[in-house]
Structure 1
Amino acid sequence: MKNRYIPITAIVVVLSIAAAAGFLMPPASQEVPARVVMDNSGGRVIFTHLYHTEDYGFACADCHHDEIGQDTPIACGSCHPPAFDEKFRAEHQKNFPTEEACLRCHYDTPEAPLAEEDKPDTDFIPTRADAFHGQCMSCHEEMGGPYGDDTCYECHAR
């Protein structure tokens, strides 16, 4: 009777060790994220990032403007916020790894609160929605993906 518990105990111990190891070991970092979730007023978009890079063969620079001498592109929302409001103006500096990034929008690295005439003209910098629509829709139109007014819910969740 006792002998039948030995294999069950061994299996439980092995599975417990495997579960603990899986829980305690950090996951391997991915070079390219599998998906990127973009929350917005038009309905959440789950962008299949890995699918677009591997299956369609896009390089990082095809969508991300530049990488400012680093391995990882800067998040789109760092330059293209939902709105150019006071919160963005006060906090956007935290999104950039180097001062070199400031030169994308500023003529010089800002050292103090800027005078109104020294601030970039945000009329020429697209918001996040405008940037995504411009980038995604133009590529979808060229590549034959979902495109046009009738296809919003191909990407946007309802």
Structure 2
Amino acid sequence: MKSRYIPITIIVAAFCMAAAAGYVLFPGEAQDVPARVVMENAGGRVLFTHKAHAEEYGFECTDCHHDDLERDTFLSCGSCHPKAFDETFRAEHPKAFPDKEACLRCHDEAPEGPLAEEDRPSTEDIPLRLDAFHGQCMSCHEENGGPTEDDSCYECHAR
């Protein structure tokens, strides 16, 4: 190696070690509320400013999350509101809950394994994820003065 590259190599190595040490020794603070949530959908990706809705607009977690279980964290929306009630949902659904108590929100008894079609709860009254989000957002916007006009879709949806 040419001698002129040695100082550059040492400087780059020092920066890399300092960056790695900083990452290990000073991890970022865990956020109580995620700053943003990206929701993929056919109408255009929505970048939901979670932190602004919670901190600037003053909404409580339970204003949007209707998870009435006694815990410090909320279940993923997709736990109950999937993209589709398909085989993927049926396979992953039981893994989404921390305990059998959560099952009783929709099931009469906690399932012990895969359910026969006739033993599954009716999905007619459970909105799919897209419908749940859109209904939740639009009803809140109507009640609290957020954008709701026909031409205001792109205030939330990316083009």
Task: Provide TM-score, normalisation by structure 2.
Answer: 0.84
Quote the sequence identity (%): 67
Partner in structure 1 of residue 23 of structure 2: 23
> Counterparts of 1:101 and 1:68 in 2: how far apart (Å)?
7
Shift of 1:18: 5.0
SS in 1 for 2:29: coil
Map residues 30-109 of structure 1 onto 2, 5 A cutoff.
30-109=31-110
> Counterparts of 1:122 and 1:13 in 2: how far apart (Å)?
57
Tell whether the 8 Å contact from 1:43 to 1:156 is kept in structure 2 after alignment: yes
Shift of 1:121: 0.5
Q: Give the paired residue count.
A: 148
Residue 131 of structure 2 is aligned to residue 134 of structure 1: no
SS in 1 for 2:47: strand
Partner in structure 1 of residue 4 of structure 2: none
Deviation per CA, 1:104-138, whole angstroms, max 9, x where unpaired?
A: 21111001221222101101000011101111000
Greater share of helix: 1
Partner in structure 2 of residue 4 of structure 1: none
Partner in structure 1 of residue 150 of structure 2: 149
> Residues 100, 19 of structure 1: CA spacing in aligned structure 2 closer, same or farther, 3 A cutoff?
same
Tell whether the 8 Å contact from 1:67 to 1:74 is kept in structure 2 after alignment: no
> Residues 17, 112 of structure 1: CA spacing in aligned structure 2 closer, same or farther, 3 A cutoff?
closer
Q: Which amino acid aligns with 2:63?
A: D
> Residues 15, 42 of structure 1: CA spacing in aligned structure 2 closer, same or farther, 3 A cutoff?
same
Moved more, 58-67 or 47-56: 58-67
Structure 1: stretches of 5+ with no match in the other structure: 1-11
RMSD: 2.0
> Counterparts of 1:133 and 1:42 in 2: how far apart (Å)?
10
Structure 2: stretches of 5+ with no match in the other structure: 1-11
Deviation per CA, 1:41-77, whole angstroms, max 9, x where unpaired?
A: 2211111000000011111111101242211111111
> Residues 139, 90 of structure 1: CA spacing in aligned structure 2 closer, same or farther, 3 A cutoff?
same
> Counterparts of 1:86 and 1:154 in 2: how far apart (Å)?
34
> Residues 17, 83 of structure 1: CA spacing in aligned structure 2 closer, same or farther, 3 A cutoff?
same
> Counterparts of 1:72 and 1:128 in 2: how far apart (Å)?
19
Partner in structure 1 of residue 5 of structure 2: none
SS in 1 for 2:138: helix
